[in-house]
């Protein structure tokens, strides 16, 4: 679900009056909450704070009042404290600090609003970087100011009150694995809100959704949103380069917002370069970022791209899922060459048995695969974009779809995938054999028995020749048309890699497998239906005109049997067991959703054909003469009753196929990816 509509892309600069907390009701509520919080922090000055928050609401701000620090007083970040005024901002509550800056909840006097103010030394391009980004899952920056006399920069932005993922991670480590749920994350957020005197949201559909999620599903829920943020930033040439729990803020509803672009890089910001302020948190870095930190390796910061951020996101989500990092990094210290080399070696080895054993028992196989792909040491084998990764996390949250794409371990579905050729042969051959038996009995009773002995002998020869031609020809054509659906999934299971074109071709051919079987089989039945009377006409010197009607009638009934029932079993098998194998590599640029909807519509038409078989068989009795009815009534009765049971079976397959198609449509839908773009 979408938490709220995506806003339009901003201009290069952001006007100061664009804010999410500017309405009067929000200002009033925020001011009240901040007053309570500040009164607890600084009990000796509550009256002054109340005046700051309410008494000067209508008074202009004079330039002389803005700066309270002498020009020659060079202060450090540690000198700043709650209760002070810096430029246009009254510092109300200390929200946190990092290696580069301190963050305060502050009241902006000129705009009469509560904002988060990040105060840092005057370097970096974070404000310019953030000014390009206007996304639901990225903290919204309003503007910046430089305090020349302090040598500091003030970046004021949207206030996100729910804490960070670091606080949630601490709660994860305190909670036994079988008690971790989405409700646990909400409890962590509520603890932060209570400590700040903030009000918990009521009647929130987002919180209600999170509360119902398991912990792995919650991690996937967070991952999908953060992947969308990375995709949005990546398409605008922005790399974060320091993704970690402390840099992901949470709203009161639990929506994550990526923050702290202090060491990020944007190729659209003048004066910014990949190596400027390059850094990050070592334990979350991708192998290529660690190589860029190593003084003796050729990799540079300019070589990094979104896939490096995807790796860091994978490390963070793995830690959030299990409570431990995927790599132990024993003895890791500062960014010295020996430390970097040990960390690089650890990541090149990949995830070890201990890391895999730390996954919770209820972790879906899909989420395990998605995170392991994020953490692949080779960037070419990771997800190539945030949109691709977001789509995979969406899959992890859909139980039906994820079990199709990633069946549970030792599932019967895995065994069914290995027997594709015998299963498809049986699905096609059995209905056609039954149809052939009925066709032989029908023609033998109503047509051939009335011909001369010479014509009857010719019929047996003609039947042998036609069968000797049509069956091998049909098998060769079907094997050729099925070569991609049969070989590519098998190759993927054996570890082979295919290019995007081959995978797209395999997916298309797999979805068309049932239709192609119908086309080939019905074409051969039509050929036989025409070949029999023509061959008899030539060999026997003529047949009664009514024989042509009987040949046509048997063709219609047998053709319907040979078309409808194989279609449902072949298509059901292809959609449930073959097509999902082709999905994990990502399909964000395909039109598979359109093809799946088309198959859904066609299956309804084939169901109508399956329902018509017993009706056509009964209707055919009315074309027989009274003396022919006793000869055919037994075969027609068996055909009608059998067709009814076959239709019930086909209808069950149709319903299962419909569920699978709808689940797969959700997997390959591009509406969400297009919104983030």
Q: What is the pLDDT of residue 131?
A: 63
In 3D space, the residue among 645, 649, 669 whose CA is nearest the CA of residue 657 turns out to be: 649
Residue 223 and residue 99 in one domain: no
**Residue 524: is its pLDDT beyond 60?**
yes
Q: What DSSP element (H or E) covers 468?
A: helix 453-481
In 3D space, the residue among 582, 585, 607, 586 whose CA is nearest the CA of residue 657 turns out to be: 607
pLDDT per residue over 379-405, tens digit each? 999 999 999 899 899 989 999 988 888
Rounded to whole angstroms, the Cα distance separating 241 from 301 reads 10
Residue 423 and residue 319 in one domain: no
Choosing from 157, 176, 203, the residue where a domain stops is: 157
Rounded to whole angstroms, the Cα distance separating 644 from 218 reads 46
Q: Which range (183-187, 452-456, 521-525) has the least confidence?
A: 452-456
Is 325 annotated to bind a ligand? Reply is no
Would 13 be classed as within a structural domain? no
**Residue 8: is its pLDDT beyond 50?**
no
Q: Could you tell me if residue 289 is left (phi over 0), alpha (psi between -120 and 50 degrees) or otherwise beta? A: alpha
pLDDT per residue over 563-613, tens digit each? 788 999 999 999 999 998 887 665 555 688 899 999 999 999 999 988 887
Q: Which range (63-77, 82-96, 223-237, 272-286) has the least confidence?
A: 63-77
What backbone torsions phi and psi does residue 18 show, to the nearest 5 degrees? -85, 110
Q: What is the pLDDT of residue 15?
A: 34
Question: How long a stretch of residues is the chain?
Answer: 677
Instruction: Give yes or no for a contact between 285 and 267, defined as CB atoms under 8 angstroms apart.
Output: no
Residue 386 and residue 425 in one domain: no
Residue 426 and residue 346 in one domain: no
Burial of 270 (0-12, 13-18, 19+ CB in 10 A): exposed
Rounded to whole angstroms, the Cα distance separating 620 from 642 reads 16
Rounded to whole angstroms, the Cα distance separating 455 from 597 reads 50
In the chain the first and final C-alpha atoms are separated, in Å, by: 17
Would you place residue 18 in the very low, low, confident or very high pLDDT band (cuts 50, 70, 90)?
A: very low
Instruction: Give yes or no for a contact between 131 and 141, defined as CB atoms under 8 angstroms apart.
Output: yes
Instruction: Give yes or no for a contact between 139 and 255, defined as CB atoms under 8 angstroms apart.
Output: no
**At what angle are helices 365-374 and 306-322 packed, to 10 degrees?**
140
How far, in whole angstroms, is CA 272 from its chain's centroid? 33
Residue 147 and residue 254 in one domain: no
Could you tell me the CATH number of the domain that includes residue 302? 1.10.510.10
Choosing from 128, 157, 186, the residue where a domain stops is: 157
Rounded to whole angstroms, the Cα distance separating 160 from 598 reads 44
pLDDT per residue over 200-218, tens digit each? 888 899 999 999 999 999 9
User: Who contacts 409 (Cβ-Cβ below 8 Å, separation ≥6)?
Assistant: 365
Q: What angle do CA 668, 671, 673 make, to 5 degrees?
A: 80
Would 131 be classed as within a structural domain? yes
Could you tell me the CATH number of the domain that includes residue 120? 3.30.200.20
Residue 240 and residue 376 in one domain: yes
Q: b or e along 222-239 (b: 16 or more beta carbons within 10 Å of the residue's beta carbon)?
A: bbbbbbbbbbbbbebbbb
**Residue 449: is its pLDDT beyond 80?**
no
In 3D space, the residue among 220, 229, 224 whose CA is nearest the CA of residue 139 turns out to be: 229
Q: What is the pLDDT of residue 64?
A: 34
Residue 505 and residue 358 in one domain: no
Compute how many other C-beta atoms are within 10 angstroms of the C-beta atom of residue 266.
22
What backbone torsions phi and psi does residue 353 show, to the nearest 5 degrees? -60, -35
Q: Which range (15-19, 77-81, 520-524) has the least confidence?
A: 15-19
Would 15 be classed as within a structural domain? no
Q: What is the pLDDT of residue 532?
A: 76
Would 511 be classed as within a structural domain? yes
Residue 169 and residue 153 in one domain: no
In 3D space, the residue among 121, 209, 103 whose CA is nearest the CA of residue 158 turns out to be: 103
Task: Spell out the long-range contacts of 200-205 with Cβ–Cβ below 8 A and sequence spacing 24 or more.
Answer: 200/252, 201/252, 201/253, 204/253, 205/1
Residue 371 and residue 456 in one domain: no
Would 434 be classed as within a structural domain? yes
Mean of the per-residue pLDDT values of the chain: 79
Would 406 be classed as within a structural domain? no
3-class SS at 61?
A: coil
Q: Which range (322-336, 482-496, 501-515) has the least confidence?
A: 322-336
Rounded to whole angstroms, the Cα distance separating 259 from 101 reads 13
Q: Which range (109-123, 167-181, 343-357, 381-395) has the least confidence?
A: 109-123
Would 116 be classed as within a structural domain? yes
Q: Are strands 256-258 and 141-147 parallel, antiparallel or unpaired?
A: unpaired
Rounded to whole angstroms, the Cα distance separating 671 from 222 reads 19
Residue 433 and residue 391 in one domain: no
Q: What angle do CA 518, 519, 523 make, to 5 degrees?
A: 110
Identify the domain containing residue 312 by its residue range.
Answer: 165-397
In the predicted model, what is the mean pLDDT of residues 297-301? 86
Residue 570 and residue 630 in one domain: yes
In 3D space, the residue among 523, 544, 518 whose CA is nearest the CA of residue 443 turns out to be: 544
**Residue 322: is its pLDDT beyond 70?**
yes
Burial of 325 (0-12, 13-18, 19+ CB in 10 A): middle
Q: Which range (90-94, 142-146, 275-279, 407-411) has the least confidence?
A: 275-279
**Residue 632: is its pLDDT beyond 80?**
no
Residue 517 and residue 579 in one domain: yes
Would you place residue 23 in the very low, low, confident or very high pLDDT band (cuts 50, 70, 90)?
A: very low
Q: What is the pLDDT of residue 74?
A: 59
Rounded to whole angstroms, the Cα distance separating 216 from 200 reads 24
Domain count, the chain: 3
Q: What is the pLDDT of residue 262?
A: 52
pLDDT per residue over 463-495, tens digit each? 888 888 888 999 999 999 999 999 998 898 888
User: Who contacts 544 (Cβ-Cβ below 8 Å, separation ≥6)?
Assistant: 450
Would you place residue 658 in the very low, low, confident or very high pLDDT band (cuts 50, 70, 90)?
A: very high
Choosing from 112, 135, 157, the residue where a domain stops is: 157
Would 405 be classed as within a structural domain? no
Q: Are strands 101-108 and 141-147 parallel, antiparallel or unpaired?
A: unpaired
Q: What is the pLDDT of residue 63?
A: 36
């Amino acid at each position: 679900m979408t938490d709220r509509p995506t806003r339009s892309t901003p201009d290069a600069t952001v006007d100061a009056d664009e804010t999410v907390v500017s309405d009067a009701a929000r200002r009033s509520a925020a001011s009240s909450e901040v007053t309570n919080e500040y009164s607890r922090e600084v009990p000796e000055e509550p009256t002054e704070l109340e005046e700051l928050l309410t008494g000067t609401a209508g008074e202009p701000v004079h330039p002389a009042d803005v700066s309270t620090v002498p020009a020659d007083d060079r202060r450090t970040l540690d000198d700043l404290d709650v209760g002070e005024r810096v430029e246009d901002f009254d510092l109300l509550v200390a929200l946190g600090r990092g290696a580069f800056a301190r963050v305060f909840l502050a009241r902006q006097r000129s705009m009469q609003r509560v904002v988060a103010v990040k105060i840092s030394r005057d370097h970096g391009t974070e404000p310019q970087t953030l000014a390009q980004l206007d996304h639901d899952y990225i903290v919204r920056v309003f503007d910046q100011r430089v305090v020349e006399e302090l040598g500091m920069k003030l970046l004021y932005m949207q206030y996100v009150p729910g804490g960070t993922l670091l606080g949630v991670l601490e709660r994860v480590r305190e909670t036994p694995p079988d008690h971790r749920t989405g409700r646990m994350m909400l409890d962590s957020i509520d603890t932060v809100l209570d400590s700040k005197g903030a009000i918990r949201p009521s009647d929130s559909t987002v919180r209600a959704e999170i509360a119902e999620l398991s912990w792995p599903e919650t991690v996937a829920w967070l991952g999908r949103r953060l992947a969308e943020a990375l995709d949005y930033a990546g398409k605008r040439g922005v790399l974060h380069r320091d993704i970690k729990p402390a840099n992901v803020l949470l709203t009161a509803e639990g929506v994550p917002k990526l923050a702290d672009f202090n060491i990020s890089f944007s190729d659209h910001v003048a004066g910014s370069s990949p190596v400027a302020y390059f850094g990050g948190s070592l334990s979350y870095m991708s192998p290529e970022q660690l190589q860029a930190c190593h003084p003796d390796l050729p990799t540079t910061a300019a070589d990094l791209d979104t896939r490096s951020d995807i790796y860091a996101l994978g490390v963070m989500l793995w830690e959030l899922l299990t409570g431990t990092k995927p790599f132990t990094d024993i003895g890791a210290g500062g960014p010295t060459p020996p430390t970097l080399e040990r960390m690089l070696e650890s990541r090149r080895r990949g995830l070890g048995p201990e890391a895999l054993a730390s996954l919770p028992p209820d972790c879906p196989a899909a989420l395990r695969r998605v995170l392991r792909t994020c953490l692949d040491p080779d960037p070419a084998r990771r997800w190539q974009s945030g949109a691709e990764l977001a789509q995979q996390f969406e899959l992890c949250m859909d139980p039906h779809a994820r079990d199709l794409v990633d069946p549970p371990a030792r599932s019967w579905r895995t065994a069914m995938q290995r027997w594709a050729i015998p299963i498809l042969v049986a699905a096609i051959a059995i209905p056609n054999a039954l149809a052939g038996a009925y066709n032989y009995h029908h023609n033998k009773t109503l047509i051939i028995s009335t011909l001369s002995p010479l014509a009857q002998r010719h019929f047996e020869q003609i039947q042998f020749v036609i069968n000797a031609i049509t069956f091998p020809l049909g098998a060769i054509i079907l094997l050729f048309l099925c070569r991609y659906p049969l070989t590519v999934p098998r190759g993927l299971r054996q570890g082979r890699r295919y290019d995007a074109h081959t995978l797209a071709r395999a997916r298309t051919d797999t979805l068309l497998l049932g239709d192609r079987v119908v086309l080939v089989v019905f074409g051969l039945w039509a050929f036989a239906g025409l070949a029999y009377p023509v061959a008899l006409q030539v060999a026997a010197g003529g047949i009664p005109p009514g024989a042509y009607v009987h040949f046509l009638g048997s063709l219609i009934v047998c053709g319907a049997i040979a078309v409808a029932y194989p279609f449902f079993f072949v298509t059901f098998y292809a959609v449930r067991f073959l097509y999902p194998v082709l999905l994990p590599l990502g399909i964000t640029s395909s039109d598979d959703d359109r093809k799946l909807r088309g198959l859904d519509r066609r299956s309804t038409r084939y169901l109508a054909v399956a329902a018509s078989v017993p009706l056509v068989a009964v209707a055919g009795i009315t074309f027989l003469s009274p003396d022919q009815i006793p000869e055919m009534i037994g075969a027609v009765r068996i055909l009608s009753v059998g067709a009814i049971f076959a239709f019930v079976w086909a209808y069950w397959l149709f319903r299962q196929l419909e569920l699978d198609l709808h689940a797969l449509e959700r997997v390959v839908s591009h509406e969400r990816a297009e919104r983030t773009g």
